[in-house]
Structure formats: C-alpha cells, structure tokens
Structure 1
C-alpha cells in the first residue's frame, strides 16, 4: 500500500519532470527567435553592449508584467467582468465605490502583478466559466502578441537588439505562465486553465470562489445555496491547494452567529501538515480557524494552540500580525497585543489589494480591542 508521503513524493517528481520538459520546450522555441538575428547582424559583444542588454532585460520585464496584467484586465472586461483592482509591483490601481484611485502597497501573496475582476450578479454559470477562461488566458496571450509584433519589427523595418530582448522577455513570461504548475500558494495561468478545462482537479473550487465574489465581494452576504455548495467543495477536496483559500474566504459567513460550525468545517483544512515551508494559503486557512475558535470561545482550550500559531509563516503581513496578536492574547501581553492591532489597522488602511475594504479583518481587530478594553476595566 502506497503511503501518503510516498504518493506526494511521486507527485512532486512527476511535477518536476513536467516543468523540466516545459522549460526545454520554451528553450527550443526561443532559439529560432534570436539566432537568425545574430547571423544577420553579427552584433559586437562587449562590456557596453552587455550592460545595455541587462538594462533592457530589466526594463522589458517591467513592461512585460504591465502588458500581462492589462491583458487579463482587457480580456476580463470583454468577458463581462467588472474591474476591482490591479497590482503592478507596489502600485495598486483600485476601482471601488464608483471612483478610481492609486495606492502603494507590498505585493500580496508574493505576486509581482495581479489583476482582480469579478462577474456582475446577473451572470449565469455557463457564461462565467467561458469568461473565466478568456480572462485567465488574456495575460499570456497579451505577452505572446507583444512578442510577435516585436519580432516582426526586428526582422523587417526595425532591427534592434533591445527590441529583440523585449520580445524574448515577453515570450518567456507568456510561455512560462502557461506551464500548469503551482508553488507557495501561487498558481500559474496555465494551472488555472488546466483546472477550468477539467484536465486537473479544481474546476469547481475556482468557480465557487468566483461565485462568492460575484454575490458579495466585500463581505459574506451570500445565498445559502452558494454557501452549501462551497461547504461541499471543502469536504470533498480538503487536500486541494485551493481549498485553504476557499475556507478562509467562507469563514466570515459563520461569525457572529455560528462560529462553531466553521470550526467543524475547518478541521481537515487548518493546522495540517505542510508540504512546503512557505505556504501563504495554508497560513490564511490557519488564521481563519483561529478567528472562528476565538469567536466560539474555544481558542484557549484548543490543543497545542500556541504550536499551531507558531507554524503560521511570515509570507503575508496581515496573517503574520494576526498570528502575533493571538499569541500576545494567549500569553497575556496586552501591550504587545495593542501594538499588533495598531499595525494591522495601518496595513489594512482604507483599502487593501487582497482584503479589499477589510471589513471582516477590521471586525476581528475590534473584537480583540474589546477584550483589551474589558481587561482594563476589570
């Protein structure tokens, strides 16, 4: 009988082999792109030209990222989705409350770029599925189109090593994003397309996540049927990489009336053994479980709760600060708890690229502040 660890090890080997083969395929594609240029123009390779190309790679990478995220946004808009926000490094463009603004924040979950769009309430499921495929494919497609245009110009009217570098970087970003893989809570566009097309498990998880966002992107005002479907997905696919994120998204629904239900639902999701040291989605599920344990009055009686909190990593700042806040609560350190809550309010601000208005998170901060106030008056 194959043990769980051996099964995971076998899956990792298969995943690594697939990534290696995909990388070789990309390399084979790139050779015909730049080799003819070397033979036609015989460029001089010296210190100056090397520096120019290195700078061109960096600048091209930044532009390729912008092209990629705008590709997602344009494809999503044409698919009937509504723009919410777009992150390009620390720059976040927001559309909320009928107006647009720009803020500066550390990239969420390690993404250098991210475009968030959602479907209007009236969008049927079939249209949502096809629209999601176009939205996800829009980023890599934009890079490939930009690369094709640049290559055509290089070999016709505008021979330029810098422009060729721009083409190669776009081609690399677009092609690499189509490799169906995930790491440290981040999934490529290829992995999302693979799930949406049914080639790998997870299609239902993706669709229910967008349905929750469709019904209420800023809170937990979801239809009971949608909640029941999300609960079923969590029970059926507890080991899927996306399930921790779904549980974290769903958990606010149960507070303040039924936090104990969320505790039961999260038992197979939260605090489980980790396959990788950095796992921000698992961190989010763990802290979601801590929130509902606290709301249910069961946090201090949870077995080995301090050890469970300590294993939550530093990859996402809001999660880390909540971890430290609950540790301060358990250790009876009111000053440290107060400092953590103040830092959380600063990080969330009026708007956050991952937590949006952060209503739920700010509610958890208020609950802990209430504990501090009650302690001071005793």
Structure 2
C-alpha cells in the first residue's frame, strides 16, 4: 500500500523558494504595466493622490474578488455544473430548492471568496476532470482578461491611474492564484489545477469529493461503490492536505448505524500532529472523530481527549462550537453545553455555505440535547 510522506524541512524550503521565484516573476511582469504610465503622464505624487490610490486599491480588491468568483461560476455553468452558492466576504448568494436568497454569514474556512458548484449528473472521471479544470481556471482567467482590457484602455482612450490600479490588482489576483500553493488548509486555484493535471498528488481526492457532491450534496445518499472508493483513498493518502476534509465529509455516512467504522477510518487522520497552528481542514477531521467517539459511547475513554479537543481552533466556527460543546459534556457543565448548542443552531441557521442544510450537524445538536442527562460522560 502506497502512502504519501509528510513534507520535510528540505521539501518546504524548496517549495518556498519556488513560490518566491513565482512572486518575482509576477513583479517583473508588473513593471512594464505601470512604469510607462509614469513617464507618459508624469502624475503628481502628493497626499491627495496617494490617498486616491489607496482607496482605489481597496475598492479594486473587492471588485477583483467578485470578478474572480463570477469567473468560476460562469466557467462552471458553461461546463455543465449547477450553481449552489457564492460567497464574497460575509455576503452569500444561495440557490437551493429552486429559490435564490442572500444571507450574511462568516466566510467558510476563512475564504474571502468562494464559488460552490456541483455536477447534476453522472460523468466519467475523464469528463469530470476536464470540466473541473475549466471551472477552476475560470476565476484567475476572468481576472487576467479584465486586467488586459483595463490596461489597453489606460494606454489608448482612457488614461487613468485609478483604472491602472484596478488592472494591476486584477493582474496580481489572477496571477497569484495560478501559483500552486496551499496555506492553513486553503489551496489556490493553481494548486487544484496542478493536482487535476497530475503534476502534484491529489487528483483522485479532488474527483471523489465532487463525486460525493454530485450523488448527494445535501446528505449521505451515496452509492456503495463511491463510498468504498473514498475509503480506499483515505487509507492510501493519509497525509495529503485534502484527506482530513474527505474523512470529515464521509464520516456522517457511518454515524447512525456504525460509528465505530467512522472511528476506525479516522485513526491516523484525526488528532494527528499538526504542521501549522491554524488548520481548519484538520479541525473538521478532528471534530468528525469526536462525533464518532460520542456516538459510539467512547468519548470519555479516548486518551487525552481534552487536550485533543483543545487543539481544535476557531477558524471554522461550527467546529469550534462543537469543540466547546463536547468539552462541556466531559466537564459535566450542562449550562455551558446548552449555550454552545444554542449558538450552533444560530450559526447553522436554515442554510450554511459549508454545511448547506446542516442535517448531520443539527442531528448531533439534537442528540447532545437529548442524551446528556442520560450519559454525561458519553462512556
């Protein structure tokens, strides 16, 4: 059985050096974009103009983010995907049950922007791979197209430092997103494209995630073959950055009837040594294991469980609140537990950009409310 190894110091240094070179390359490209403008128009550098540029940069950043996510959405729809939701900061546009609505919510997993689409029908792995590449590339490509158009306008019919700033911000966002890197569980579009193209490991993990979403985006009504494939990938790639998220997605499949199976699958994935202080994907895997242990009546028996719960961070609000709820269970504090569960219900609401309808999470809340008096230490 083949497993991936963790990045050692040498590998991390090589990765950082590659990212530095990529950043320098972007800088070299940017100089010819704005340097001629300074010679042609000789703008006055004073406080008022500096303030204008700062404001223009902030506004351009927001607009570039919107363009980026719309680019993903358009490319996905043109590739046959179905729109689910789009987040721009705390603003989330939701399409569910044939209706559209706008909600205000903390960004999921720390993403400033996120477009979530799914495939409505079955596809071969090759078809899904090709369409996902277009969907993922749509965001940075949209930024680069807008940047080129804006630069052309600046140097032809509409010379403007503000428009040039807008162009540079779009160029930076588009180019930076094509660098294949990840940090704190967040992966750039370039990293996803690198995995889908086979240049870095992880293509199968990306595809199985979209396969699960395609078969049942709101629950666990998946084909047995799909579940078996996901299980095998978790065992084959325990150290891949995406594996904790896959385990967290798959874990609810077992909780109702066989939580011990979820526990067994998660060993080596949950509660593992962290490579960074903030790791929301690892938080999801850890809280999925805690759900399984509680459902199996083994939470109180888990070695150093309070220490393990304490490692779960606050980057993902729902995981953090479940951490506090289970800590209250172990400490025998029903009032604290009730407060955590009330907060969880408010955060999940009727719909959540990461948990969607939150059926599984709401079932956990209900079970904690109903069973705490019966077995406060869950084992």
**How does the TM-score come out when normalised to structure 2?**
0.97
SS of residue paired to 1:17: helix
SS of residue paired to 2:300: coil
Indicate the residue corresponding to 1:99 in structure 2: 99
Indicate the residue corresponding to 1:297 in structure 2: 297
Change (3 A) 1:5 1:97: closer
Indicate the residue corresponding to 1:234 in structure 2: 234
Indicate the residue corresponding to 1:309 in structure 2: 309
Following TM superposition, by how much is the alpha carbon of 1:313 offset from its aligned partner in structure 2, in angstroms?
0.8
Following TM superposition, by how much is the alpha carbon of 1:24 offset from its aligned partner in structure 2, in angstroms?
0.1
Following TM superposition, by how much is the alpha carbon of 1:374 offset from its aligned partner in structure 2, in angstroms?
4.2
Change (3 A) 1:15 1:259: same
- Equivalent residues in 2 for 1:198-347 (5 A)? 198-347=198-347
Tell me, in whole angstroms, the C-alpha distance in 1 between the residues paired with 2:76 and 2:298: 42
Tell me, in whole angstroms, the C-alpha distance in 1 between the residues paired with 2:372 and 2:266: 27
- On the 8 A contact 2:329/2:372 being kept in 1, the answer is no
Indicate the residue corresponding to 2:34 in structure 1: 34
Tell me, in whole angstroms, the C-alpha distance in 2 between the residues paired with 1:39 and 1:333: 69
Following TM superposition, by how much is the alpha carbon of 1:127 offset from its aligned partner in structure 2, in angstroms?
1.6
Following TM superposition, by how much is the alpha carbon of 1:28 offset from its aligned partner in structure 2, in angstroms?
0.3
Indicate the residue corresponding to 1:128 in structure 2: 128
Indicate the residue corresponding to 2:47 in structure 1: 47
Following TM superposition, by how much is the alpha carbon of 1:12 offset from its aligned partner in structure 2, in angstroms?
1.3
SS of residue paired to 1:300: helix
Change (3 A) 1:194 1:6: closer
- Equivalent residues in 2 for 1:58-69 (5 A)? 58-69=58-69
Following TM superposition, by how much is the alpha carbon of 1:248 offset from its aligned partner in structure 2, in angstroms?
0.2
Tell me, in whole angstroms, the C-alpha distance in 2 between the residues paired with 1:92 and 1:136: 19
Name the Cα RMSD after superposition: 1.4
Greater RCO (Cα-Cα under 8 Å, separation 6 or more): 2
Following TM superposition, by how much is the alpha carbon of 1:121 offset from its aligned partner in structure 2, in angstroms?
2.4
SS of residue paired to 2:299: coil
Tell me, in whole angstroms, the C-alpha distance in 2 between the residues paired with 1:124 and 1:370: 44
Indicate the residue corresponding to 1:160 in structure 2: 160
Tell me, in whole angstroms, the C-alpha distance in 1 between the residues paired with 2:171 and 2:161: 15
- Equivalent residues in 2 for 1:176-187 (5 A)? 176-187=176-187
Could you report, residue by residue, the CA deviation over 1:29-83 in whole angstroms, capped at 9, with x for unpaired residues? 0001001111111111100000000000000000000000000000000000000
SS of residue paired to 1:315: coil
Could you report, residue by residue, the CA deviation over 1:260-294 in whole angstroms, capped at 9, with x for unpaired residues? 01111100100001000000000000000000111
- On the 8 A contact 2:6/2:239 being kept in 1, the answer is no
Could you report, residue by residue, the CA deviation over 1:298-330 in whole angstroms, capped at 9, with x for unpaired residues? 111111111111111111110000000000000
Tell me, in whole angstroms, the C-alpha distance in 1 between the residues paired with 2:7 and 2:117: 36
Q: Which runs of 5+ in 1 are unaligned?
A: none
Tell me, in whole angstroms, the C-alpha distance in 1 between the residues paired with 2:233 and 2:341: 33
Indicate the residue corresponding to 1:370 in structure 2: 370
Tell me, in whole angstroms, the C-alpha distance in 2 between the residues paired with 1:97 and 1:322: 28
Q: Which runs of 5+ in 2 are unaligned?
A: none
